[in-house]
A and B are shown apart, each in its own frame.
Chain A
Amino acid sequence: MTMPHLKLVQLSRPTREPKRMIELTIDGRAVSVPEGSTILNACQALGIEVPTLCWLETLTPVNVCRVCVVEVEGARVLAPSCSREVEAGMKVKSRSERVDLTRKLVLEMLASSVDLSTSPGMAEMLAEYGAAPERFGECETVAQPVKVDNDLYVRDYAKCVLCYKCVEACGEDHQNTFAIAVAGRGFHAHISTEFAVDLPESACVYCGNCIAVCPTGALMSKREWELREAGQWDESKQTQTDTVCPFCGVGCTLTLHVQEGEIVKATSPLDNDITVGNLCVKGRFGWRHVQNGRTPSAS
């Protein structure tokens, strides 16, 4: 029996049509990137370093921090490179007087209002742009007490730059739990649960996917926070080993961060197809059973 129309059924993964390539110049250098790429992608293709804070490859760009701004010829204002799509013939300057001034001011504004002491790479960024936050004098900050309301993680919003990453990870981009959101507005905008309830009263499911994307250490696992408070956190003494989570059949890659024989943190790689950097409460925190004074003894 022949069934010619059976052949019409699409069996394999549809191959996407190759994207049109867009040509543009950045800092006078020509580059060609697939349609739909951002200016940031194009900069990365050229090896041009662009600072970012609120951008992460696994999250929808929100373009709020504005440290990645670049100058697009003919545009009235600077463009956020993380979200602005390339256009044919675009002429971009990744550095210019205007770009550097805005980046410097943005960094100064953040550093003058937020505790950036646990933000990786921040000191270097401030130096690169000659940012001098002290020139604002005594000014309003977001200083506030740290929130310790559960055994798994700590929220220190005095360190929050309002990059929206945690909200995105908790929300539609990944976890879809929506336990936190940006509340209030203006300088008083802040990350909050409903009615500012403690996390245990909120919808939080403790997946810790917010911690995983926080760029400033405002969100931190309780263990890391305790070790830091005790002055014992030492990344130079840590190893990172990828293994597979022992719970359920999904097979999430767990990166175990081990300091002096103790698991101190679990993460997952952003480029992992299964997790996209995410874990659940069991994966991120359920490792304690292997070191909870477990002493099996032969009877």
Chain B
Amino acid sequence: MEDTDVILLWGSNARNAHPIWFHHLLKGVRNGARLYVIDPRRTESAQWADVWLGNHVGSDIALSNTMAREIIHAGLHHKDFIANGCSGFDEYAASVESYTLERGETLTGVPAAVIRECAHAYAKADKAMICWTLGITEHHDAADNVLALINLALLTGHVGKWGSGCNPLRGQNNVQGGGDMGAIPNRLPGFQTMLDPAICERFEKHWGVALQPNEGLNLTQMIHAMAHKELTALFVIGENPAQSDADANHVRAALAGLDHLVVQEICMTKTAEMAHVLLPAAASWCESDGTVTNSERRVQRCRKAVDPPAGAKDELWIINEIGKRLGKELNVTDPETVWNEFRTVAPNFAGGMSYARLEEHHGLQWPCPDESHPGATFLHGRLWEQGDARGRAAPFTVVKHEGPVEMPDADFPFLLTTGRHLDAYNTGVQTAGFGSPLFRGETLDMSPEDASVYGIHEGDKVRVTSRRGSLTTIARVDRALRPGLVFMTLHYPDEAMTNVLTIDASDPKSGTAEFKACAVNVTLATSAIPAFR
């Protein structure tokens, strides 16, 4: 990051959401990197940009495809890299052919000349990076958005080398680690697939239990399954779906309809309040030991610094006890043993990451197959190799611009998009009570032009309504927004549950909901009507 020449920060307000990572980005900028920020809002991050491209919400594929066409037409694509390491170029090139600069401008709102400038700068750079966050992934076509950006990186050869690549910034401290360890519905530890009988057999042998050789449900699918009574019991560990998921009214109804809801939690959340069984737990990051994996695949140790409050139990203790109740002695004694077992079942992934080495190196980046391996600072270098060393070619994927599922219309004239505040985190469970002077709670942010047209002043109480729900909150005027676009966070559900508004349209490939776009109406609220509780 600090050594790169061009950075495309796409759908990310990292200045607020990933502040310390942004320090590194700024080092790159101070070292001379040119920064393009692509975001419908002119965020704090965008204010650092050499060029801010304020595209329409949900027009990322259109922008990416337009850039790709321009790069190809200008002959700036990396022909040798593509020939050596990629597949499906011709089909891809044909698919972007209709995305002329003019059409790109129409679809994205960004002037054609600026799209061209950005495309050329990215393609011509010696080293360039694309970094993104939820602005790319919280859409109904999330995976396609990501693939569109990967296409750009492949097209220009900005992968598999120092100072280049694709950098998705994980929103949560161990979402990567959860996936690493197999806490995702479609993978075993180390991202090994359960659809491969040989792999399944290896795990069955190791664990001494039979595995179901099929993929599970993702969160969005689970909620649908609950709604349809196909799923009747749920064990929630450290998640607050009653407030954190799109179309909250729908989610809460689904949770309420469960036969059995077990919640393991460190605080009394809204989800915990609904539980049939509540398991008070230690806060894993400071009341117990273990590892977490950050955005750059770095596995680091976390350690117990304080005792949990009376009654709260260590997570391993809880798992052991559940095992016992289910008739299986798990004998999970301590975190290091768990970790070492993981190393054993995913040796190519983490075999070289002993606790001792993690301590010594302040964490290691996977894959790290053996104890002499320094960890991998970047991936996909193999695409530059030839023959067997190259492995499977990286495929271009044809993706099409669709735009948000729900667009503003006469009844719901605004597009609501969501994001984060610097001093708050998710639904505020952990950040609500630390006395941040920056705290301003939930607001409906709107452009000065709209505020003027609709006669709304900063501080006015407004009613925000979508096809799914309605709430009241306080208006705030923000120049970061353009007319027609309004903004809320998801941090303060007890004040204003933004998720009663959001749409549960979700990405079939990843299960992510379209938090970034739904149509709403905003009116002055004459009297306080309590929001959905």
Please measure, in the bound complex, the distance between the C-alpha atom of A261 and the C-alpha atom of B173, giving whole angstroms.
Answer: 24
Contact of A10 among B162, B281, B284, B425 (CB under 8 A): B162
A residues near B80, Cβ cutoff 8 Å: 3, 5-6
Q: Please, which residue of chain B has its CB at the minimum distance from the CB of A279? A: B20
Q: Please, which residue of chain A has its CB at the minimum distance from the CB of B284? A: A246
Cross-chain contact B265 with A242 (CB below 8 angstroms): no
A residues near B429, Cβ cutoff 8 Å: 289
Binds A, one of B286-294, B468-476, B495-503, B508-516: B286-294
Centre residue among A1, A152, A290, A298 by max chain B CB count within 10 A: A290
Q: Which of A1-36 contact B (CB under 8 A)?
A: 1-3, 5-6, 9-14
Contact of B162 among A14, A200, A243 (CB under 8 A): A14
Cross-chain contact B17 with A248 (CB below 8 angstroms): yes
B386 within 8 A of A: yes
B311 within 8 A of A: yes
Cross-chain contact A9 with B161 (CB below 8 angstroms): yes
B462 within 8 A of A: no
B357 within 8 A of A: no
A residues near B197, Cβ cutoff 8 Å: none
Q: Please count how many residues in chain B sit with their CB below 8 Å of the partner chain's CB atoms.
A: 78
Contact of B83 among A1, A247, A272, A292 (CB under 8 A): A1
Cross-chain contact B19 with A290 (CB below 8 angstroms): no
B258-292 vs A: 1/0 string, CB under 8 Å?
Answer: 00000001111000100101111101111100001
Cross-chain contact B18 with A241 (CB below 8 angstroms): no
When A251-B295, A263-B286, A282-B425 are in contact, do A206 and B437 touch as well, CB less than 8 Å?
Answer: yes
Cross-chain contact A253 with B173 (CB below 8 angstroms): no
A132 within 8 A of B: no
Cross-chain contact B298 with A6 (CB below 8 angstroms): no
A140 within 8 A of B: no
B residues near A261, Cβ cutoff 8 Å: 306-307
On chain A, which size bracket covers the interface?
Answer: 35 or more
Nearest-neighbour CB distance to chain A for B405, whole angstroms, equals: 27
Cross-chain contact A273 with B362 (CB below 8 angstroms): yes
When A253-B362, A256-B305, A296-B267 are in contact, do A248 and B18 touch as well, CB less than 8 Å?
Answer: yes
Cross-chain contact B384 with A9 (CB below 8 angstroms): yes
Cross-chain contact B162 with A11 (CB below 8 angstroms): yes
Contact of A246 among B277, B283, B293, B363 (CB under 8 A): B283
Beyond A2-B386, A3-B84, list 10 extra A-B contacts (CB 8 Å).
A11-B160, A11-B161, A205-B19, A248-B172, A249-B169, A249-B170, A286-B434, A288-B433, A297-B311, A299-B278
Would you list 26 pairs from A and B whose C-beta atoms are within 8 A, ordered by A residue?
Answer: A6-B384, A12-B161, A172-B30, A200-B437, A206-B438, A242-B301, A242-B303, A243-B301, A244-B173, A244-B285, A249-B174, A249-B294, A251-B173, A251-B298, A251-B363, A252-B20, A274-B298, A276-B23, A280-B20, A282-B422, A285-B435, A287-B286, A296-B311, A296-B312, A298-B277, A299-B275
8 shortest interchain CB distances as A-B pairs: A251-B294, A249-B170, A151-B435, A296-B280, A241-B305, A280-B19, A256-B305, A249-B295
* Residues on B facing A (Cβ under 8 Å): 3, 17-21, 23, 26, 30, 80-81, 83-84, 157, 160-162, 169-176, 265-268, 272, 275, 277-281, 283-287, 292-296, 298, 300-307, 309, 311-312, 362-363, 377, 381, 384, 386, 422-425, 429-438
